């Protein structure tokens, strides 16, 4: 089965590259990146803000990555239907399923081939984006164009077009496949060239204009496109090209809007405020892991909720109350000022409010043993008066809809925040899980499909 799957994947990969729509969308993506350098001007970005992109280039990267997303969405739907749905309609799929090859191998092989072609397309589109980022936005008439970027990019595209046309004319090579095969290494060489040569045509270290955080954001987006490719593969087992594109666009929109329409109803709690400063009562007991430990919390704004002494207090990293750092607690019956009665055997562990003055809240650990908290309160945490309740039907619906926000890490780039590698790893794991689920649906749909 593995050999059959790889053979189908290889043939599908070559067939996908030969689709005229493939190189058309790739070249259109490059053209759009050129236009984006004009459209992103005058966004009033600050150039003195730290980060790999500053000023108008923040908007350029945002628009450029969106361009890749939209082009990749349509490309995945087009080539997935071309290699599966169209073969079913033309009955050419019979030449495969009539052989001793399982239908799961056909579906997985088709997906791997299309996914490989998508990776080639995304590699080219990301290279165009990185060239545009290096060129930057010309915000004023005094800004000089980046001549190395313009020259190397035009040489790579022009040479690949010329050689592909010559190969097609003299040897009958498929124009689209040949052009993409030539453009991929030439575009990478062009990007390598602009990394080594500055705007003033001076030799520079390769890391001067290399932006690894931007590439991590692009890698996360690539996984989203591979998920959409799996969705397109599943849809094309039963639907035609137009409906497959509609399904992909619908899932894409639902994935973008799921947080608003579904996600905000999953976790229910009442936010008190956000911590801007957390000061331990005793610096030697900052771990907050023993009864009697105290903290003074300063909130960004004075809470609208009135807190009474003895009320349990909760905190966590999310403003909706998900993933609390504190477990469920019960309110003590004793007055919290009577410290002699707060640490006896009949007092359950808890963290309670001992004072509330404007934006300042003092809290204390009470009980006969320490409360098991994940970590002490810290700046950036959010404070709540009660444990979070979960709407299970909404949680199930939110889980079933692919959440495209997880793959969109541009906000971290534009806000000069570092994207941790561990976070990218979780994104990849989430994407692989969605791909496996979509392929399972595709196999189920194709198993009962009459292709005769």
pLDDT at 335 over 60: no
144/288: higher pLDDT: 288
pLDDT in the model for residue 176: 87
For the segment 287-294, the average pLDDT, to the nearest whole number, is 88
- CA dist., res. 50 & res. 414, Å (int): 10
Answer for the pair 191, 127: CB distance below 8 angstroms, yes or no: yes
| Sign of the torsion angle spanned by Cα atoms 258, 260, 266, 271 | positive
Find the range with the poorest average confidence among 46-55, 225-234, 430-439. 46-55
Say what the pTM is: 0.83
Residue 38: both structure tokens together:
């004009």
The three-class DSSP label of residue 215 is helix
The pLDDT tens digits for 226-264 are: 999 999 998 888 887 788 888 888 888 888 888 888 988
To the nearest 10°, the Cα dihedral for 425, 428, 434, 437? -80
Task: Calculate the average pLDDT of the chain.
Answer: 86
DSSP 93: T
Distances (CA, A) of 315 to 292, 319, 383: 18, 9, 4
Q: List the single range of 133-142, 302-311, 422-431 with lowest mean pLDDT.
A: 133-142
3-state secondary structure 216-250: HHHHHHHHHHHHHHHHHHHHHCCCCHHHHHHHHHH
Least-confidence region, from 54-63, 231-240, 243-252, 336-345:
336-345
Contacts by 283-292, CB closer than 8 A, 24 or more apart: 286/376, 287/376, 288/365, 288/373, 288/376, 288/377, 289/365, 289/370, 289/373, 290/365, 290/370, 291/342, 291/343, 291/349, 291/365, 291/366, 291/367, 291/368, 291/369, 291/370, 292/343, 292/364, 292/365, 292/366
Across the strands, what pairs with 296?
Answer: 279, 362
- Distance in angstroms (rounded) separating the CA atoms of residues 130 and 60: 11
Burial class of residue 115, CB neighbours in 10 A (0-12, 13-18, 19+): buried
H helices of 313-377, in order, are: none
Q: Which two tokens stand for residue 13?
A: 């990969």
What are the tens digits of pLDDT across the range 118-151? 999 999 999 999 999 998 887 766 678 889 999 9
Q: Where are the domains of the chain?
A: 2-265+399-447, 273-387
- Give per-residue pLDDT as tens, 355-392: 888 889 999 988 888 888 999 999 999 999 999 999 99
Which has more confidence, 416 or 201?
A: 201
Closest C-alpha among 87, 70, 92 to residue 16:
87
Residue 86 has pLDDT above 90, yes or no: no
First-to-final CA distance of the chain: 22
């Amino acid at each position: 089965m593995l050999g059959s799957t790889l053979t189908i994947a290889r043939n599908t990969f070559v067939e996908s590259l030969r689709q005229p729509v493939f190189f058309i969308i790739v070249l259109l993506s490059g053209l759009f990146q050129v236009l984006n350098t004009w459209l992103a001007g005058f966004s009033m970005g600050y150039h003195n803000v730290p980060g790999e992109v500053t000023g108008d280039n923040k908007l350029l990267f945002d628009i450029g990555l969106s361009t890749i997303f939209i082009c990749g969405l349509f490309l995945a739907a087009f080539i997935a239907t071309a290699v599966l749905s169209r073969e079913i309609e033309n009955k050419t799929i019979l030449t495969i399923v009539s052989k001793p090859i399982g239908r799961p191998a056909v579906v997985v092989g088709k997906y791997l081939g299309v996914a490989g072609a998508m990776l080639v397309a995304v590699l080219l589109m990301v290279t165009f984006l990185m060239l545009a980022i290096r060129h930057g936005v010309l915000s004023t008439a005094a800004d000089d164009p980046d001549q190395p970027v313009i020259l190397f990019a035009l040489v790579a595209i022009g040479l690949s077009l010329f050689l592909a046309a010559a190969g097609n004319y003299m040897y009958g090579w498929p124009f689209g496949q040949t052009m993409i095969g030539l453009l991929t290494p030439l575009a990478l060489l062009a990007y390598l060239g602009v990394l080594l040569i500055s705007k003033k045509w001076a030799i520079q270290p390769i890391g001067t204009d290399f932006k690894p955080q931007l590439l991590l954001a692009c890698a996360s987006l690539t996984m989203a496109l591979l998920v959409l490719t799996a969705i397109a593969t599943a849809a094309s087992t039963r639907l035609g090209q137009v409906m497959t594109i509609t399904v992909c666009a619908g899932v894409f929109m639902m994935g973008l809007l799921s947080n608003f329409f579904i996600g905000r109803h999953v976790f229910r709690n009442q936010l008190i405020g956000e911590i801007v400063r957390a000061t331990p009562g005793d610096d030697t007991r900052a771990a907050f892991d023993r009864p009697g430990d105290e903290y003074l919390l300063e909130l960004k704004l004075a809470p609208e909720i009135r807190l009474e002494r003895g009320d349990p207090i909760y905190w966590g990293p999310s403003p909706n109350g998900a993933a609390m750092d504190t477990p469920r607690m019960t309110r003590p019956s004793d007055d919290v000022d009577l410290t002699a009665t707060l640490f006896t055997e009949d007092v359950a562990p808890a963290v309670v409010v001992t004072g509330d003055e404007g934006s300042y809240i003092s809290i204390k650990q009470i009980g006969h043993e320490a409360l098991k908290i994940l970590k002490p309160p810290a700046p950036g945490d959010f404070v709540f008066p009660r444990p979070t309740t979960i709407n299970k039907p909404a949680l199930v619906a939110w889980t079933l809809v692919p959440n495209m926000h997880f793959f969109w890490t541009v906000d971290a780039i534009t806000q000069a925040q570092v994207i941790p590698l561990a976070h990218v790893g979780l994104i990849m794991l989430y994407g692989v899980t969605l791909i496996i689920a979509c392929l399972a649906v595709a196999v189920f749909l194709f198993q009962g499909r009459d292709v005769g």
